[in-house]
Amino acid sequence: IYVIAAHGHLELSQGRVTEAAAALEPLVALTDRLSQGEPALVMWRPDLIEALIRAGRAEEAEAGRRVMGVAIR
């Protein structure tokens, strides 16, 4: 999880939003499969949300934001 998150963060920090989203999206299924829903353990979801928004995929980003909102409460 850490390596994938770092790769996605690197892509995002270099302005490659499509590549960042593609790198980070598999983490959704992976963390679900591993029952690792704690958002503070590895902070990848905010990067995915930002990448999706910047890539023009606001609806998908909203779904991620809702997950973060539920996890924080």
Most confident of 24-28, 41-45, 61-65: 24-28
Q: What is the band of 73 on the pLDDT scale with cuts at 50, 70, 90?
A: very low
pTM, two decimals, is 0.86
More confident residue, 37 or 21: 21
Q: What is the pLDDT of residues 13-34, one digit of tens each?
A: 999 999 999 999 999 999 889 9
- If you write DSSP's letter for every residue of the chain in order, what string do you get? -HHHHHHHHHHHHTT-HHHHHHHHTHHHHHHHHTT---TTTS--HHHHHHHHHHTT-HHHHHHHHHHHHHHH-
pLDDT for residue 68: 76
